[in-house]
Amino acid sequence: MRLSLKNATVIAGSILCLSSGSAKVFAAHSPAVDPFDSELMDRLSHQPELMNRDYLEHLIGRPENDKDQRYGQTKRFFWYGIGHIPLYELWQAEVLPGKVVASTFIMHLQNGELMFADIDKEFGNVSQKFYDTNGHATQLLSFAPNSSISFSVPPDCDYVRTVKIIYNGPPLTSPSNDDMQEAEDRHMDNAYRHIYSADYDGAMQPLVSRLRKHPEDGEAHYLLAETYWHRNRLNEAINEYNLALANSGDNRDLQTACVGGLYKLRALPNQDDVANIPPAEFRMVDNGRRMVAIDPRDQDKKEEQDQRSGTAVAQSVPRPPVDQRSSMPVPPQSASPSPISSPWNTKYF
């Protein structure tokens, strides 16, 4: 596990960024804007082809209305945070399936402190300054052909609350394989970001996507178990704790955390005893649907008891006589059949 479970969620929010050779435009504003949003602005404004639904799913999760939009010529995707607060939107228009000629990615900044003065100081010449249709003061810049990025401040606020990356031009190309691979590798970073902000619903999707391609990732199973636990989906949490434990390898921190999770859900009888079982003694049964923990000492005792019991039975039970003509055991003969014990045979007077 690349981060200790004790401090992973604490530092995840401060280390998350989209590594890019050109990711420097908004770096100076990291205190004013969430680092993830800051780098996302930079990446999309320089590479509009990354305004792609599959690429964004790796970074910010699956849009809420995904199934209704996959096959329409005009698409509009939404992503929400805690309390159904809008976080991101993606609007796209296609001339043919997969040929996007117009795309707008909208970011709703809830608590950022980015001001126009910061933009002027960083970029100097802003191409346009105007009021949008909602009466919001807006500044517009451009970093790539046929694309622009705008920052809008509402009338009752001093800070930027809406950022739009806009593209209008020839059909956008698909993201490169390197970009898609990098985005896929950031499933866990995205999950940690949601967990750090207590957005457990938002953390589920990147974890499920990660496990769909890497079912052996014990850390992802553990984080998914934690999100299920916080959402009171207890049976699913127990299953994910078990899967995380079965895929923990020699990671004792992860094993201890999984055992603690199972114990708090009363899925294990004694936390101290099970915590000392070597990880190799955890076995999946029922075609991987459940897991059992085997203590080697108990297993040895059970085998020894079974062996002793089998030997004792074999010595105490005589072999029945065999009929030489039929080679079948001869039933025992009794002088008189014993009466069947029944309430109807009991005399009370």
Q: What is the pLDDT of residue 348?
A: 34
Residue 100 reports pLDDT greater than 60: yes
pLDDT, averaged across the chain: 75
Nearest to 43 by CA among 197, 152, 163, 209: 163
Q: What is the pLDDT of residue 209?
A: 78
Q: What is the pLDDT of residue 316?
A: 41
Residue 166 reports pLDDT greater than 50: yes
The total number of residues written for the chain in this structure: 349
Which residues, listed in sequence order, are joined to residue 147 by a DSSP beta bridge?
167
Q: Where are the domains of the chain?
A: 23-181, 189-296
CATH, domain range 189-296: 1.25.40.10
Residue 92 reports pLDDT greater than 60: yes
Nearest to 63 by CA among 3, 106, 121: 106
Most confident of 109-118, 154-163, 324-333: 154-163
8 A C-beta contact, residue 195 and residue 12: yes
How far lies 103's CA from each of 44, 47, 88, 320, in Å? 11, 12, 13, 87
Residue 121's pLDDT band, with cuts at 50, 70 and 90, is confident
Q: What is the pLDDT of residue 39?
A: 86
Residue 349 reports pLDDT greater than 80: no
Residue type, 184: E
Nearest to 102 by CA among 129, 128, 75, 77: 75
How large is the average pLDDT for residues 197-220?
84
Q: pTM for the whole thing?
A: 0.61
| 276-325 residue pLDDT tens | 544 445 555 554 445 555 555 555 555 666 666 554 444 444 444 544 45
How large is the average pLDDT for residues 208-213?
82
How large is the average pLDDT for residues 79-95?
88
How large is the average pLDDT for residues 173-188?
86
How large is the average pLDDT for residues 226-245?
92
Residue 252 reports pLDDT greater than 70: yes
Residue 263 reports pLDDT greater than 90: no
Q: What is the pLDDT of residue 315?
A: 44
